[in-house]
Structure 1
Amino acid sequence: MINHLMVGSNDIERSKRFYDAVLGVLGAPAGVLSIASSGHQRVFYRHAGSSFGVSQPINGEPACHANGGTIGFKCESAEQVKAFHDVAVAHGGTSIEEPPGLREGALGPMHLSYVRDPDGNKLCAVWRVPAAA
């Protein structure tokens, strides 16, 4: 259903360094920097059938984060959830909410971590604990 997600940034080079490191934890290759015909800079990441982009706003206004919005990245293990968090913080992100770890909820047990990127976008790393056989 979802083709891609894109967030805005006021500093594309800073965002590229951040997302190259953080999305690298998930196995994504370094982002590809491009210049749109409008002249604004963008960087794109493609991995495992998903696309994620970071762009200077086309309208020329400052980028800002969505209040209430969260971008969730699927992880392969609890350790990857923790690594995503730790690499994000080491590259200019901010740890938010509870520390990375197991949460019980309506959708079953899962490991989660939440961070904000350097532009304030809320990111979640999630690994759903497989159901017992």
Structure 2
Amino acid sequence: MFNHIMVGTNDIEKAKTFYSAVLGTLGLAGDPIEHTADSGHKRLFYAHNGGTLCVSEPINGKPATFANGGTIGFRCSSAEQVKAFHDAGVAHGGTTDEDPPGLRESSMGAMYLSYVRDPDGNKLCAIHRPD
């Protein structure tokens, strides 16, 4: 369904450190594609399994802000990967959001979840649904 998701950043180098670490836990190896637009703003492109996560300095020159109520979810292959995603995020400038990583039971079934905010406040979720 999605081609790409783009989030804004106020510090492209800090964002690169953060996203390279958390996405590395999902098997994304190597550096992102770095691009400077004709307007001069810098962007990072992380491509994986047909989708792309873009991190960009805002094109309008105003500060980047996060979406209130917005969350970007990343599918994980195990509970351990959910925790590794969270821990890499916190170790690289992010902050824990909501409860600590772990199993959650709800009307939607059992799932392992972790929530972390990137250095600019964007909310990320790592999720694994056990069989």
Q: TM (normalized to structure 1)?
A: 0.95
Where does residue 45 of structure 1 map in the other structure? 46
CA deviation after TM superposition for structure 1 residue 22, in Å: 0.7
Where does residue 102 of structure 1 map in the other structure? 103
* Residues 85-124 of structure 1 aligned to structure 2 (within 5 Å): 85-124=86-125
* Residues 20-59 of structure 1 aligned to structure 2 (within 5 Å): 20-29=20-29, 30-59=31-60
* Residues 43-82 of structure 1 aligned to structure 2 (within 5 Å): 43-82=44-83
Identity %: 65
Alpha-carbon distance in structure 2 between the residues aligned to 1:5 and 1:46: 11
* Long gaps (5+) in structure 2: none
Q: Describe the SS at the equivalent of 2:120.
A: coil
CA deviation after TM superposition for structure 1 residue 48, in Å: 1.6
Q: Deviations over 1:23-77 (max 9, x none)?
A: 0000113211110121110000011222101000001110000010000011010
Poorly superposed stretches of 4+, deviation over 6 Å: none
Amino acid at match of 1:125: A
Where does residue 10 of structure 1 map in the other structure? 10
Q: Describe the SS at the equivalent of 2:109.
A: coil
Q: Describe the SS at the equivalent of 1:15.
A: helix
Q: Describe the SS at the equivalent of 1:104.
A: strand
C-alpha RMSD of the superposition: 0.8
Alpha-carbon distance in structure 1 between the residues aligned to 2:34 and 2:17: 11
* Long gaps (5+) in structure 1: none
Amino acid at match of 1:9: T
Amino acid at match of 2:2: I
Alpha-carbon distance in structure 2 between the residues aligned to 1:105 and 1:52: 29
